[in-house]
Every structure is written in C-alpha cells, then in structure tokens.
Amino acid sequence: MKVLANDGISQSGIETLKNAGFEVIVKKVAQEQLKEYLNKNAISVLLVRSATKVDKDIIDSCIHLKVIGRGGVGMDNIDVKYAKSKGVAVINTPSASSSSVAELVFAHLFGGVRKLHDSNRNMPLEGDSKFKELKKSYAGGVELRGKTLGIIGFGRIGREVAKIALGIGMKVIASDQTIGEAEITLEFYNHQTIKIPIKTEPVDMLIKDSDFITLHVPAQEKPVIGAKEFEKMKDGVGIINAARGGVLDENALLEAIESGKVAFAALDTFENEPSPAIKLLMNESISLSPHIGASTNEAQERIGVELAEQIISILKKD
C-alpha cells in the first residue's frame, strides 16, 4: 500500500512505515492536482499538515483512499465527518506537539515581559549610537514569578503550559468546556511525581483575574476574545494566541493595545494566514512567529512515529 506524505513526515516515521511494508512517497502535490495524483498512483493513505485541504470532492473521487492523517492537533482542513461516513479513517496526533507549543508560549511570554521582541529590532539599528536611550526605553520589565496565568482551553497543550507556569512560580487558573477541577502531574528526576489540582472557571471570571492570558482552543465560528472581553481584563494584561487564527479578534486586540489595556501580545497564528495584516506585523507591542508552535525537531519525530503506528494499527490488523 502507498502512503503520500504531502506535507512531509519525519525520517523515523518513514522507516516505521517502510518496515511494515508500506511504500512512502514524500512529495508536495499542488492542491489542484491532488485528486488526480491520488487516483493515478492508487494512494491508500494521505498524510497532511495544515497546508493541504481534504474536502468532499477528494474523498468521493479517490477510491483507493483508506486513511487520512493530520500531523498535529487541529483538523479543520479535513472534512472529518464526511470522510468517516464514507468509511475513510481519519487520524491525528493530539499529544505529539503539546510540549513544543507550550514552550513557544513561554518563549513569547519571557520575551514579552522584557520587551525583547522589540529591543531585538532596534538594537542592531541604534545600539551603537543610542545605547543609553535604549537602556532606559527597555527598562521597567516585569517578572512572571508570582503573577497569574489564565489558560483558556485546558486540554493537552493547556496542561503542558500549566506545568511550566507552576515550575516558574506562577499562579494558574484555567477555563474549559466543563467547570470544576482538573488534575495535572508534574514529573521530576528519579521518577518522582506530584499531582496538582487546577480549578477551572468560566472565561468571564478568568479574564478578570489574570495578569497574562493564553489561548489553547480549537478553531471557532467567532472569537473567544473580542472587545467585550478586553474591557473586563486587567489594565496592562499580556495575551498570547498560539492556537488558531480567529479565536482572538485582531482588530479588538489592536484597539486594546492602543488604549493601554493590553501591554503586549504574542501571535503565532493569524486570521489571514499566510498573509497576516500589516498593522499587526508592524506593531511594536506584538511578538510574532509564523505558526511554528509544533515545529520542533522532537515534535516532528513524535508526529511521524505516532502517525505511522496508527496507520499500521488500522491497515495491518491481520
């Protein structure tokens, strides 16, 4: 059976599939040519990331297709319900990139509270001529220790974020679909662990009490955070979106930055990818990255192996 990794797959994933008898094709086929390629080459498994869309037309037209795999968490680029109704299995890797995304959140957080994202722009330009002025401009940073981090969406990624936050001495509050209490496990050297209960509460309460807010929810029909939510936040709040474009109202964010309600923001995902609004890209109060939350070497290795193992489990049952 043939596997097309249209958006790539790690070498360890390739080897795992080959050892199980699969032929793996790593090739980027353009969206408009994908249907023809899948049929012509009798592809049984299509592996994608966010760049490739798998709609009803492809699912109906590609008679050899048995499995669609998404390297990552979100599957909004795949018509999952329709695929399953046609007997096509749909798989993803919800836990493989959790740590990578969580670490990126804190890369932005640490940089944001010390204005590193902006000083890195200006030091190369004026560091030799205006050193003292820049030193004064970027003084007055704040510490994360002792501050409250609000985590909206307390699934796998949200819980990894909580672990790091607790490790550096932050207070954590969370919001999820169900209100109550969730438990996370911190792991230490020599197999030592400790379980910590985290209270969950409605978003309306969380945003009032948080010094920093990070979003970890799937794609939504409307923003989770908009103008009304910004009004309820503390003055000088920091906010991070490493989830999906559209869960944060970007125009409302810019207005909140302009008013001083938001001290800094960090965006890894955008409403208009791959062409984010220029007014976001040019704003000195926003730390930016090009949707790289899951893009670490370790995460890609885990994703490849996890996809391979699921494919083998589905198609090699005999």
Name 31's bridge partners: none
Average pLDDT value for residue range 25-47: 96
* Percentage of the chain lying above the pLDDT 90 cut: 90
Cβ-Cβ contacts under 8 Å for 194 (sequence gap 6 or more): 185, 186, 188
What does the mean pLDDT of the chain come to? 95
- Could you count the other beta carbons within 10 Å of the beta carbon of residue 315? 18
Cβ-Cβ contacts under 8 Å for 196 (sequence gap 6 or more): 166, 183, 184, 185, 186
CATH of 98-288, one of 1.10.3720.10, 3.90.550.10, 3.40.50.300, 3.40.50.720: 3.40.50.720
Are 138 and 119 contacting, i.e. CB atoms less than 8 angstroms apart? Answer: yes
Classify 205 in phi/psi space as left (phi over 0), alpha (psi -120 to 50) or beta: alpha
pLDDT value for 142: 96
Cβ-Cβ contacts under 8 Å for 45 (sequence gap 6 or more): 1, 2, 3, 4, 22, 65, 66, 67, 68, 69, 311, 315
Cβ-Cβ contacts under 8 Å for 189 (sequence gap 6 or more): none
Are 238 and 265 contacting, i.e. CB atoms less than 8 angstroms apart? Answer: yes
CATH 2.60.40.10 fits domain 2-93+297-315 = no
pLDDT value for 179: 65
Q: Indicate if the pLDDT at residue 31 is higher than 70.
A: yes
Positions marked catalytic: 244, 273, 291
- Residue matched to tokens 């795992």: 16
pLDDT value for 181: 84
Residues of the chain with CATH 3.40.50.720: 2-93+297-315, 98-288
**Structure-token pair, residue 21:** 């008898």
pLDDT value for 248: 98
